[in-house]
């Protein structure tokens, strides 16, 4: 069988939850026994989001093969079993880059290189690449941006061509739009959706399925009105009302709206039986939990939820594993110091310091870590968070005055964190960190081993700096256990404190591997330890 293509576009405005919709559709199709591949097309010119500020873009999600990608790929992985790699995250920058490279090599044999067909062909080839090795039943492609934007036009043209060439039984267009409610009139308005469909029609695309974001479930009358004005069958107008309880309820909402059945029927496929029990059970666990666990996140981008999206999601998975609700207490490290640390952290059950770059807020993070270490509060340090724990221990236990990372103070007397050797020569910023999954040996008789129950793990990385090996002996003698390391024992991947209920720092990003169905062992362990703390 050939793969079927589902293209998901967005209309009216951004932030409608296209990524979650794509992930949820993947989840529903998988629950019926189909295989899916999910892909994101981003219309920006950056090659990838790796060099963008989290305020511009939210977190950078990292795949096993070390691609720095859009955070929507995080949803794809958390909601489905599909494998993601560099191939699943495409940007305008990548498309143009390869076309221009080929032009310089002379591959176009004297022809004028143009948006149509050269750019559109390159886009299409990136889509076809997903069915080269294995042939998934469905390839779901999310077109980033909003229909009507100049940037997304080549992508829309490419998918229009695909529909024309492969036909209606192999290509489906799903359009996600907004049906806003005018509060004073108390009325939901369909006009923006009609206009957005007109924009698509002008580009030669007639959507087959409309998913309408709306605050309360859409009435039958409204569905039939949208159906009539937009040339979309009434049963193909899906109401996507706001879900406030848990993001993991979204697939269920779409299942009730029959989104997966509508998609399958549009392709002329008789839907296989759905097995949604496991997902349902997991959602019930979330909804039935009543005990609350407060976790402090000490990070400089706390004002933007998307900046630590995978960390927050993974914490909630830790909650699922322990039947508790995880409540986030977001703390700006620039506003935390010795004078207020007790006040700010006295009501939390655990403290997490996430990854990051640059020295802003470092001193506040170190104060928070010292508090966790000395007051026996469960602590989880991720990447920069682990590095800060090393700095804190160096300064306050070993007496290394002004110990630091060379990232923040290149001339520190005690560079307990320093540049990885092979990073020294690198000048280019984009895509040059230590990226992607690497093996890590977990020491038996350690807390890490207790959590992982495995001596060899693979975790994803995104960093340039590491623990400076020559200080290892001193740290060990003072109570740090290096319980995880690279197979050549050169990179210390996990640190833990011996006499502490739960104090773990990891050089990698476990948040990229956690799923609600299979919570990451370290997040599960951290929340378990935190839930035992009496405030
Ligand atoms: N800035 C640190 C490094 O490059 C930590 C990176 C991170 O937290 N992702 O090593």
- Mean pLDDT computed over 52-57: 85
What pLDDT does 9 receive? 97
Ligand 1 pocket: which of 356, 358, 429 to mutate (most atoms within 8 A of CB): 356
CA of 354 to the centre of ligand 1 (A): 10
What pLDDT does 428 receive? 79
What pLDDT does 423 receive? 80
Using one digit for the tens of pLDDT, what is the confidence trace for 237-252? 999 998 888 999 999 9
SS (H, E, C) 185-243: CCEECCHHHHHHHHHHHHCCCCCCEEEEEECCCCCHHHHHHHHHHHCCCHHHEEEEECC
Give which of 136, 130, 125 is closest to 1, Cα–Cα: 136
Using one digit for the tens of pLDDT, what is the confidence trace for 129-174? 999 989 999 999 999 999 999 999 999 999 999 999 999 999 999 9
The helix, strand and coil proportions of the chain, stated in percent and rounded to the nearest 5, come to 40, 20, 40
The half-sphere exposure of 99 on its side-chain side, counting CA atoms within 13 A, is: 22
Q: Ligand 1 within 6 A of 357 CB? A: yes
Give which of 88, 79, 84 is closest to 26, Cα–Cα: 79
Instruction: State pTM to two decimals.
Output: 0.95
Q: Ligand 1 within 6 A of 464 CB? A: yes
- Mean pLDDT computed over 336-365: 96
What pLDDT does 426 receive? 78
Does 535 score more than 90 pLDDT? no
Q: Ligand 1 within 6 A of 395 CB? A: no
Return the CATH fold of 290-531. Rossmann fold (3.40.50)
Using one digit for the tens of pLDDT, what is the confidence trace for 249-295? 999 999 999 999 999 999 999 999 999 999 999 999 999 999 999 99
Give which of 51, 42, 46 is closest to 428, Cα–Cα: 51
Ligand 1 atom closest to the Cα of residue 433 is: 4
Q: Ligand 1 within 6 A of 465 CB? A: yes
What pLDDT does 175 receive? 98
Using one digit for the tens of pLDDT, what is the confidence trace for 409-467? 999 999 999 998 888 787 778 888 899 999 999 999 999 999 999 999 999 999 999 99
Ligand 1 pocket: which of 61, 298, 387, 493 to mutate (most atoms within 8 A of CB): 387
C-alpha–C-alpha distance, residues 163 and 175, integer Å: 15
CA of 233 to the centre of ligand 1 (A): 50
C-alpha–C-alpha distance, residues 473 and 257, integer Å: 60
Q: Ligand 1 within 6 A of 77 CB? A: no
Does 13 score more than 90 pLDDT? no
Using one digit for the tens of pLDDT, what is the confidence trace for 94-120? 999 999 999 999 999 889 999 999 999
Ligand 1 atom closest to the Cα of residue 509 is: 9
Using one digit for the tens of pLDDT, what is the confidence trace for 465-516? 999 999 999 999 999 999 999 999 999 999 999 999 999 999 999 999 999 9
Q: Where in the chain is the domain with CATH 3.40.50.300?
A: 4-281
- Mean pLDDT computed over 180-200: 90
What pLDDT does 18 receive? 94
Residue 431 φ then ψ, to 5°: 65, 20
Ligand 1 atom closest to the Cα of residue 462 is: 9
Q: Ligand 1 within 6 A of 463 CB? A: yes
Going by alpha carbons, the residue nearest to atom 3 of ligand 1 is 463
Return the CATH fold of 4-281. Rossmann fold (3.40.50)
Catalytic residue of the set 27, 212, 230, 383: 383
Give which of 297, 451, 324 is closest to 380, Cα–Cα: 297
Ligand 1 pocket: which of 51, 388, 464, 510 to mutate (most atoms within 8 A of CB): 464
CA of 461 to the centre of ligand 1 (A): 9
Ligand 1 atom closest to the Cα of residue 465 is: 10
Active site residue 230: no
Q: Ligand 1 within 6 A of 407 CB? A: yes
CA of 434 to the centre of ligand 1 (A): 10
What pLDDT does 185 receive? 79
CA of 359 to the centre of ligand 1 (A): 11
Q: Where in the chain is the domain with CATH 3.40.50.880?
A: 290-531
What pLDDT does 431 receive? 81
What pLDDT does 397 receive? 97
Radius of gyration (C-alpha) of the chain in whole angstroms: 25
CA of 464 to the centre of ligand 1 (A): 6
Q: Ligand 1 within 6 A of 59 CB? A: no
As given in the structure block, the two tokens for residue 163 are 């529909």
Active site residue 511: yes
Does 355 score more than 90 pLDDT? yes
What 3-state class would DSSP assign to 425?
A: coil
Q: At what angle do helices 309-322 and 72-79 cross, to 10 degrees?
A: 20
Active site residue 463: no
Averaged confidence pLDDT in the chain: 95
């Amino acid at each position: 069988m050939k793969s079927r293509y589902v293209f998901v576009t967005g209309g009216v405005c951004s932030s409608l939850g296209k990524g979650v919709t794509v992930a949820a559709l993947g989840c529903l199709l998988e629950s019926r026994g189909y295989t899916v591949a999910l892909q994101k097309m981003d219309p920006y010119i950056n090659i990838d989001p790796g060099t963008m500020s989290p305020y511009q873009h939210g977190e950078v999600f990292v795949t096993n093969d070390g691609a720095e990608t859009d955070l929507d790929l995080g949803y794809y992985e958390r909601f489905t079993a599909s494998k993601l790699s560099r191939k699943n995250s495409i940007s305008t920058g990548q498309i143009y880059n390869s076309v221009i490279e080929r032009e310089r090599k002379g591959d176009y044999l004297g022809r004028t290189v143009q948006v149509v067909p050269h750019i559109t062909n390159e886009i299409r080839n990136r889509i076809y690449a997903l069915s080269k090795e294995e042939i998934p039943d469905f390839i779901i492609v999310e077109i980033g941006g909003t229909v009507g934007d100049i940037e997304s036009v080549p992508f829309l043209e490419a998918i229009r061509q695909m529909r024309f060439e492969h036909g209606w039984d192999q290509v489906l267009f799903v359009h996600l739009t907004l049906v806003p409610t005018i509060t004073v009139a108390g009325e939901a308005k369909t006009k923006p959706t009609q206009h957005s469909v007109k924009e698509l029609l002008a580009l030669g695309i007639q959507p087959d399925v409309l998913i309408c974001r709306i605050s309360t479930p859409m009435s039958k009358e409204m569905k039939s009105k949208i159906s009539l004005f937009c040339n979309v069958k009434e049963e193909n107008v899906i109401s996507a009302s706001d879900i406030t309880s848990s993001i993991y309820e979204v697939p269920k909402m779409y299942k009730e709206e029959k989104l997966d059945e509508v998609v399958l029927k549009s392709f002329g496929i008789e839907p296989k039986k759905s097995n949604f029990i496991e997902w349902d059970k997991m959602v019930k666990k979330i909804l039935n939990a009543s005990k609350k666990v407060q976790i402090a996140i000490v990070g400089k981008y706390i004002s933007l939820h998307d900046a630590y999206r995978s960390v927050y999601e993974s914490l909630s998975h830790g909650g699922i594993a322990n039947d508790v609700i995880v409540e986030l207490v977001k703390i700006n490290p620039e506003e935390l110091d010795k004078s207020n640390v007790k006040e700010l952290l006295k009501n939390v059950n655990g403290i997490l310091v996430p990854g990051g770059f640059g020295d802003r807020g470092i001193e506040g993070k170190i104060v928070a870590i010292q508090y966790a270490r000395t007051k026996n509060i469960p602590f989880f340090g991720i990447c920069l968070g682990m590095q800060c724990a090393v700095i804190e221990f160096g300064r306050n236990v070993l007496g290394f005055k002004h110990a630091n990372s060379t990232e923040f103070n290149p001339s520190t007397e005690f560079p307990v964190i320093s540049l990885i050797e092979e990073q020294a020569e690198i000048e280019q910023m984009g895509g040059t960190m230590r990226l992607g999954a690497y093996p890590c040996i977990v020491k038996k008789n350690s807390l890490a081993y207790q959590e992982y129950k495995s001596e060899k793990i693979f975790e994803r990385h995104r960093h340039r700096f590491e623990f400076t090996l020559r200080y290892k002996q001193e740290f060990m003698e003072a109570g740090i256990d290096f319980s995880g390391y690279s197979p050549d024992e050169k990179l210390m991947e996990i640190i833990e404190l011996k006499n502490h209920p739960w104090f773990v720092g990891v050089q990698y990003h476990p948040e990229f591997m956690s799923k609600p169905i299979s919570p990451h062992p370290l997040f599960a362990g951290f929340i378990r330890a935190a839930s035992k703390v009496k405030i």
